[in-house]
Amino acid sequence: MARQSLSALFRMVAGIGLVAALAFPASAFAGPSSDAVVVATPFAAKLGLSGAYAQCPAGQRVVGGGVLHTASQQIYVGGSGPLDSTTSPPINPTTAAQSTVNGDVATQWYAGVSNPVSDPAAVKTFALCSASSDATVRVASFSIAGRSTGVITVKCPTGQRALGGGVIQYSWPDNRILASGPLDSSGQLSNTTDGDVATKWYSAVHNWPNHTVQFKAFAICSADSQATIQATPFSVAGNATGDARVRCPDGQRIVGGGIVQGGPAKFIGLRDSGPLDDTGLAANTDDGDLGRHWYATVENRNPYKVNFKVLAVCELG
């Protein structure tokens, strides 16, 4: 009799446990979720070089960011990356890039563009800001000789994931970002695909001036994040411009993203790379929105086709 009572008790406890488990959403068992939202700073890019900063609210930190334009003319990204809080806008990106070092908490995103025509262009700098993330910055300084291209990859510490990243020049000549985006542990774009964990951030830059210029590359790394990559491959014909976007799975939001070319760095121009809300329009993506897509436009100045991937780093939220 006692044995039957004990068996019934076990069944009752198991049933209660099952009901309790079903009462919670699946996301409750899926690890941390992100509270990252968009902060947008619109600015008018006049002829030549200009830039702007998107600052996170007090108590929040940058996990990713980018820059998008809504203009019809050619705009080229010359710098886009996270900065710490040691200086406040209006600031010189030279000073800010030098002061942002390993382990810093990024609190703002800087983006600079080059506009080769006289008509002002509508541009937005975006920061993806989180109040709960543990993300900190990893950096690598490098230099590029005049009229040449350089590449660098910044790796997150073991056990951490890359959420965002970028590259900023120490001075403000006319440089062009060719690519900036996450890679998995293989460090190869061909192996980086949906569901992979980003552990590195790749950047490629072409230095147009005749003199050597210093740069700093960034990865924003987190030990708590469960973010994974979504990737959209696309190709651009020779001497043509192409664009693509990648969307996070349902129930997930953008925490970072970018674009990387297949193979060695090519002679290309990055027109824009940044987050979009549910509308999929840069003009509508504003403060407090959730990033759902990552969008990029690239100009292929080679006479042959070049393959790319637009990459989003997505997390529950």
pLDDT tens per residue across span 86-123: 765 555 555 667 789 999 999 999 999 999 988 999 99
The pLDDT tens digits for 240-281 are 999 999 999 999 999 999 999 999 988 899 999 999 999 999
State the average pLDDT for the chain: 87
pTM of the entire predicted model:
0.88
Higher pLDDT, residue 197 or 29: 197
CA-to-CA dists, residue 314 to 79, 177, 229, 246, 247, angstroms:
23, 23, 6, 10, 9
Q: Which long-range contacts (CB under 8 A, 24 or more apart) does 93-101 make?
A: 93/51, 93/168, 93/169, 93/172, 94/169, 94/170, 94/171, 94/172, 96/168, 97/168, 97/169, 97/170, 97/216, 98/170, 98/216, 100/137, 100/139, 100/216, 100/218, 101/137, 101/139
Domain ranges within the chain, ordered by starting residue: 32-316
Please report the pLDDT score of residue 43 as a whole number: 95
CATH placement of domain 32-316: 2.60.120.690
